[in-house]
A and B are shown apart, each in its own frame.
Chain A
Amino acid sequence: MQEQELIQQLKQGSEAAFKTFVETHQDRVFNTALGIVQNAADAEDVAQEVFIQAFRSIGSFKGESKLSTWLYRIATTRSLDLLRSKKSKKRFGFLQRLFNDQGDLLYDPPEFHHPGIALEQKENAAKLFKAIAKLPENQKAAFTLHKLEGVNYQEISEILDTTVSSVEMLMYRAKLNLRKILEADGSNNKD
C-alpha cells in the first residue's frame, strides 16, 4: 500500500490501515524509544503512546514530511518527556527514601544492554549507553537517531525541527562529550 493511500485510509479511521501502519513502523518507533529511555518496558509504553497520538492526530498530518519522520518526531519527544518526568521524580527521591528501605536503588537504572548488539560488543556498548544517558537532550536525540536508526542528518534536522548544520554541530558536540564522559569514567574506574 502506498503511503498516501495509507494516510487517506487512516484519516477515514480504517482499522486495517491502522494495523498495517503499526506493524510497518513498530520496530522503528520501539528502537528509537529504547535508545533514548534505555529500558524495554518504558520503551514499549512510549511506543504505544506514539501510535495512540498518531492515531488521534492523523487528521492534522499534512503530509509535508514522511510518515516515518513524523513518527520519529513523536517518539523522540515522548521519550524525552518520559526521561524528564523520571528526572523530576528523582529530585524528590530523598522524600521517598524516608518511606522506602530500598533507598538509592529505587531510581538507579541497571546497566542497559541493547538486544541488537553483538555479544562481543556488549560490554563496550553498555558503557557507551551509560555515557549517552548523560548527554544533553538534543545531542542524545541526534546521536541515537543517527547511530541506532541510521537516520541521515537531513531527516534528523526535520525530526528535531532544526537545520542540517545544527545537526552536524549536535553530533560533533555529542561525540566530544561522549569522549570526555568515557575518559572520566575510565579514570574513575582506575581509582
Chain B
Amino acid sequence: MDNNKTEEILNSLVVLQRASAPDFFYTRLRAKMEKGIVSPAQQPVWYLRPAFVLATLFAIVAVNAMVFLKNNTIQKNTAAVDYTDVIQQTVASDFSQADNNLVYDLTMSR
C-alpha cells in the first residue's frame, strides 16, 4: 500500500458525524433498571470468579487435610502412650499384690 493511500485511510474519520443512540434509548434503559437486569460486565461479582472459587476450595480442602492429619498423629501418639501405661500399671499392680501374705495364703490353701 502506498503512503498516499495509507494517509487517505487515516484521514477518513475527519468528516464524521456523531452516531445517535437508538430510538427509545431512555425507555429501554428505564425498563432495564426496573427489571434489575445487570450484565456480568457491569458488576463483576468477584466472589464468583473462577480464580477466587478455586482458591477458596483449595484452602478449605487444605485446612481439612491438615486438621485430619494432625488429629490422626495425635491419636496414634496417645494410643501408643496409653498402651504402654496400661502394661506398666498392670505389671506394677500384679507385683504389688504378690506380697508375702499372698504367697503364704496360697501355700496354706494347697
Given the known interface contacts A45-B39, A49-B42, A127-B9, the answer about A114 and B19 at a Cβ–Cβ threshold of 8 Å is: yes
B21 at the interface (CB under 8 A from A): yes
Inter-chain contact A182/B9, CB cutoff 8 Å: yes
Inter-chain contact B13/A147, CB cutoff 8 Å: yes
Q: Which of B19-67 contact A (CB under 8 A)?
A: 19-22, 25-26, 28-29, 32-33, 38-42
Specify which chain B residues have a CB less than 8 angstroms from the CB of A182 in the assembled complex.
Answer: 1, 6, 9-10
Interface size range of chain B in the complex: 20 to 34
A90 at the interface (CB under 8 A from B): no
Of A25-33, A64-72, A95-103, A133-141, the one contacting chain B is A25-33
Inter-chain contact A116/B42, CB cutoff 8 Å: no
Inter-chain contact B1/A178, CB cutoff 8 Å: no
Inter-chain contact A31/B19, CB cutoff 8 Å: yes
Given the known interface contacts A22-B26, A115-B19, the answer about A183 and B12 at a Cβ–Cβ threshold of 8 Å is: no
* Chain A interface residue count, Cβ-Cβ cutoff 8 angstroms: 47
For the residues of B in contact with A, the DSSP-based class is loop
Specify which chain B residues have a CB less than 8 angstroms from the CB of A187 in the assembled complex.
Answer: 1
Inter-chain contact A30/B19, CB cutoff 8 Å: yes
Most buried by A among B5, B15, B32, B42: B42
- B-contacting residues of A (Cβ < 8 Å)? 19, 22-23, 26-31, 34, 40, 44-45, 47-49, 51-53, 55, 78, 81-82, 85, 114-118, 121, 124-125, 127-128, 131, 147-149, 175, 178-179, 182-183, 185-187, 190
The 10 nearest A-B residue pairs measured at CB: A186-B1, A116-B17, A124-B12, A30-B21, A26-B21, A125-B12, A49-B42, A121-B12, A124-B9, A31-B19
